[in-house]
Amino acid sequence: MSIEQKLAGKRALVTGSGTGIGREVALEFARQGADVVLHYAHSDAGARSAVDEIQALGRRAEAFKANFDVVEEVVRLGDQAIEFLGGVDCLVNNAGITFNKPFLKVTPEQFDTLFHVNIRAQFFLTQRVVQDMMTHGGGAICNMTSIHGLQGAPEHSVYAGTKGAIIAYTRALGVELAHKGIRINAIAPGWVTVENYYKTIPGFNEEDAKKTAWEKVPLGRSGSTLEIAKLATFLCSDDSGYVVGQTIVADGGTSSLISLISDFRNESEAKFGLGYVPGI
């Protein structure tokens, strides 16, 4: 008995798909029958290996580089995806960066970097892809935000601002474009362990992370990239055909919990943004 593929014949662009959630979304879309264009900003190793895996499934795939701090490169990525795929039916706006810093120490350059990459790039890439979608009957867009857009965390005021902006513009644009056959929704993941955790949090290890998740997350564990990828598949498939402008929270109950667990009095030792945000 054959298993129905939820995205059979679809053409998808997934940004920030060299690692973590974005890479798993690209792979899951291919498993569900889609041809996929991947995007990376720096190293192409993860995106290229994903391209190989997707092609082994019998689907078309390619990876393109774009610096999301430069609008012209963002628009060019849209053009490249449209040209390679012959059009885009599904767009997953996953690319984004973060950093942590006390509010009074944030510089204008750091502020601009996060807003340019996390929201401006997403906005204008979506604009380019929507132009294409309108020529062939519509499509579906999934924006990746975060529970940081819904709850407060010390030293993340700029990052939270970008994620809150994604939630707001998803809602407004969803209403604006629904009658044109283009559905826009968002996912707000909670704790999903990805490679960056090991690079930026001093002493981070899987055993301690599991213990912390058991104590702090109502579900008792962190989420997986595959769980988020399957939710993105749902939002870009016909199964969610009546869902518009919504932000779906996938956090194991974290944002539903009234909590006083944050140490908000002391400056964090974590160095999110090291290597790509100025002054870290």
Residue ranges per domain, the chain? 11-256
Reading the block at residue 49, the tokens are 């290996």
Reading the block at residue 200, the tokens are 């930026």
- Options 3.40.190.10, 3.40.50.720, 3.10.129.10, 3.30.70.890; CATH for 11-256 is 3.40.50.720
User: What torsion, rounded to 10 degrees, do the Cα atoms 67, 19, 48, 14 define?
Assistant: -60
Pairing of strands 182-189, 139-144: parallel
Q: Distance of CA 115 to CAs 97, 163, 174, 277, Å?
A: 9, 9, 21, 12
Task: Decide: residue 210, CB within 10 A, 0-12 exposed, 13-18 middle, 19+ buried.
Answer: middle
* Rg of the chain taking only CA atoms, in angstroms: 18
**CA–CA distance, 148 with 157 (Å, rounded to integer):** 9
Q: Distance of CA 218 to CAs 136, 224, 227, 251, Å?
A: 44, 15, 17, 9
Average pLDDT rounded to a whole number, residues 5-20: 97
State the amino acid at position 240 in one-letter form.
Answer: S
pLDDT score for 206: 81
Q: Which pTM was predicted?
A: 0.91
153-210 tens-digit pLDDT: 999 999 999 999 999 999 999 999 999 999 999 999 999 987 666 666 777 788 888 8
Judged against a pLDDT cut of 70, whether residue 225 lies above it is answered with yes
Paired residues of 126 in beta bridges? none
